[in-house]
Amino acid sequence: MSDREQRHRQAMQKLKSHVDERVAAASEQRGQVLVFTGNGKGKTTAAWGTVTRALGYGYRVGVIQFIKGLWECGERERLQADDNLEVAIMATGFTWETQNRESDTAACREVWQQAERMLADPQIYLVVLDEITYMLKFGYLDIETVQQAIANRPVEQSVIVTGRNAHRTLIEMADTVTEMNDTKHAFNAGLEARRGIDF
Ligand code: ATP
Ligand code: MG
């Protein structure tokens, strides 16, 4: 064996024992809270990716879309035939389009009731609260209500929260927080949002 090969083998053995140790230490089993936030692209895509993953094992999944109800969404189109998926949509579209705080608040509260039901249902393995951060930011929902519903969920249930500027409380209570970083985005170079890529 060459010197280089031997050094590589030693390094890999060391890495393996380190990884094995960490895997052995991570033995707690329970549902998790994941937050996908930041200004970069990929938050909702990552949430749907995880939905697909859970559905792949036959788990039940609930998705609440808090802001883009009127938007097309390729993942929803593809997955909605799965009986294990339930999608609830806040049907008002963007707040700067409706420009009506009262009707937006009512629409938000209505769909939040669906979220509360899902967050209390032990049959549901994963709940996605897509773009809920904006509901908190605009004051359509209060953070204490959301925090309590997430904290009191069934022990095996996981929750994904997406949206920019996630509330500090959500970051604190989360097990996993990923901040998508906006290194570059096609939109800023004048490229239109693309079907099958952006929605
Ligand atoms: P995606 O749905 O593609 O995963 P996202 O959920 O991270 O994106 P949102 O803030 O929800 O991002 O924005 C939704 C839409 O805006 C998508 O069409 C997405 O491609 C686009 N978008 C995301 N990030 C940016 C950005 N930094 N600049 C411009 N457009 C963006
Ligand atoms: Mg999104």
Task: Tell me the pLDDT tens digit for each residue of 124-165.
Answer: 999 999 999 999 999 999 999 999 999 999 999 999 999 999
Q: Reply yes or no on whether 94 is catalytic.
A: yes
Q: Is the CB of 41 under 6 A from ligand 1?
A: yes
As a whole number, mean pLDDT of residues 30-48 equals 98
Categorize the per-residue pLDDT at 196 as very low, low, confident or very high, splitting at 50, 70 and 90. Answer: very high
Residue 190 backbone class (left: φ over 0; alpha: ψ -120 to 50; beta: rest): left
Gap from CA of 38 to ligand 2 centroid (Å): 10
Of all ligands present, the nearest one to the C-alpha of 192 is 1
pLDDT the model gives residue 70: 66
Q: Whose CA is nearest to atom 20 of ligand 1?
A: 198
Which secondary structure element, helix H or strand E, spans residue 46, and what is its range? helix 43-56
Q: Is the CB of 182 under 6 A from ligand 1?
A: yes
Average pLDDT of the residues in 98-103: 78
Mean pLDDT, range 13-42, rounded to an integer: 93
β-pair partners for 76: none
Active site residue 45: yes
What's the rounded Cα separation, in Å, for the pair 163 and 35?
A: 8
Q: Which listed ligand is nearest to 65 at the C-alpha?
A: 2
Domain boundaries, the chain: 30-189
Higher pLDDT, 101 or 43: 43
Task: Give percent of the chain above pLDDT 70.
Answer: 94
Question: Which residue in 31, 35, 41, 28 sits closest to 61, CA to CA?
Answer: 31
Does the CB atom of residue 180 touch ligand 1 within 6 A? Answer: yes
**32 CA from centroid of ligand 2 (Å):** 20
Give 63 Cα–ligand 1 centroid separation in angstroms: 18
Average pLDDT, the chain: 93
Nearest CA to ligand 1 atom 29: 187
52-97: per-residue pLDDT in tens?
Answer: 999 999 999 999 999 766 678 999 999 999 999 999 998 775 566 6
Mean pLDDT of 100-127: 94
* CATH class of the domain at 30-189: alpha beta
For the question of residue 48 being annotated catalytic, the response is no
Taking CA atoms only, the protein residue closest to ligand 1 atom 30 is 187
Nearest CA to ligand 1 atom 13: 41
Q: How far is the CA of 152 from the centre of ligand 2 (A)?
A: 25
Of the candidates 32, 42, 29, 30, the one whose C-alpha atom is nearest the C-alpha of residue 127 is 32
Catalytic residue among 71, 94, 138, 199: 94
Q: Dihedral of CA 115/120/123/128: which sign?
A: positive
